Amino acid sequence: MLGQLTNLLGKHFAIGYFLPAILLAFGFLELAHLFDKLTDLQINLISGGWVDNIYLALFIALFAVFLLALNFNIIRFLEGYHRFNPFRLLFLIPFAIGNERKEYLGMVKNYDAANRNYWAAVAADPESPAVLSARYTLGDQQIALAKRFPELEGQPHELVKAAENTDDAVKERILPTAFGNTIRAFEDYPAVVYGFDAIQGWVRIEAIMNSTLGNAIQDEKSRVDFWANLWGGSLFLVLAYAGLAFVEYWRFGFFLFPYLWFPFGMIVLSVIFAKAAQKAAYQWGVSIRAAIDLTLPNLAKTLGYTLPASAAKKKEFWQKVSKLFVLRNHAALQDLDPYVPGTAAPPPPPKAAKRSKKAAMPPPPAELDP
């Protein structure tokens, strides 16, 4: 209990939740002031003595705990999950800025063009300096695509075709926000590289993770939470402004939009916060990938298994482990028996003996026998 209270009062809570709660609380008070909705209690909290300031601090602390409790839902909403998420309206934007599918199409086209240029340079003269330059350009395009979007299988020209036709894979994998695609890109890393389901296995990774690496991940996550809470809070303030304007219309029969700088300012700030959240999410992903790379061998040892030598066999092993995490049945556990130390691998099935062409031919008819 004391350990949980220490974590609640730590720097990660202060950065990720308490500071955004302070800023958003004053944003709500300013909004109430614009519409003359400040109550006597709120005025006393702002301009009162130290007792009222304690009440204000407690309110902000409770608001911060509320943000912490809703953290998963806030992050998933800002990523663009769920069928009726309003961020999915961004797919209707006719140009690339703001439309992640069109942004993805533009990036895979650049990747495809760089790939074609590289192989054209190789075909023209493999020893030419142009080959090295084209190779660097191709690498830059691959890195940019891997940073921004989740993995989709296929050659560059196949990815372009899928993006142009908005295939089911593109619809399923590309989220409506850059923030969501950046997070999904590093969430896919363990499965693509190792065959490991990090969603099901992350708790086990955390249990044996190096404390230094764990603290680094928490530091990056607190920055993501800070910007994500400000981003979501600024959007909520815009909705609250529109709601109060509608209430004024219902009361007086006409729309009253005092201080239009407030909603427009919140919209501009939300764009800035969204970009900052995306950059913080990328750095968070760097730490997550490092944790996966460094901790998976120890996880296999902790679970009581020996990793195979080849990369293909390792991926097959982690796919079986992930299957066990998901299915949670004994049959999936038995599939891991060959990886238990001291257990001999099952012998390969015997190969069928090859039959010679002569043996395969039918015997001659009886009437042709001498």
Residue in 257, 270, 341, 263 with CA at minimum distance from that of residue 303: 341
Q: Residue 354 above 80 pLDDT?
A: no
Residue 294 has φ and ψ, to the nearest 5°, of: -85, -20
Contact, 94 vs 86, CB < 8 A?
no
Residue in 306, 288, 322 with CA at minimum distance from that of residue 209: 288
- The average pLDDT across 13-40 equals 84
Tokens read off for 326: 């998901």
Residue 123 has what pLDDT? 92
Contact, 26 vs 266, CB < 8 A?
no
Q: Residue 356 above 60 pLDDT?
A: no
119-154 b/e (C-beta count within 10 Å ≥ 16 → b): eebeeeeeeeeebeebeebbeebeeebeebbbebee
CA distance 2 to 90: 45
Residue in 75, 92, 95, 90 with CA at minimum distance from that of residue 177: 90
Q: Residue 355 above 60 pLDDT?
A: no
> Worst-scoring range by mean pLDDT, 29-33, 110-114, 310-314, 352-356?
352-356
Q: Residue 85 above 70 pLDDT?
A: yes
- The average pLDDT across 177-193 equals 92
> Worst-scoring range by mean pLDDT, 42-46, 67-71, 84-88, 105-109?
42-46
121-143 pLDDT tens trace: 999 988 888 999 999 999 999 88
Residue in 71, 78, 76 with CA at minimum distance from that of residue 222: 71
Residue in 114, 161, 157 with CA at minimum distance from that of residue 135: 114
Average per-residue pLDDT in the chain? Answer: 84
> Worst-scoring range by mean pLDDT, 9-23, 32-46, 121-135?
32-46
Selected residue with higher pLDDT from 351 and 153: 153
Q: Where are the domains of the chain?
A: 2-80+197-303, 92-176
Tokens read off for 157: 């020209």
Q: Residue 51 above 70 pLDDT?
A: no
CA distance 249 to 251: 5
In Å, the largest CA–CA distance within the chain is 124
Q: Residue 364 above 50 pLDDT?
A: no
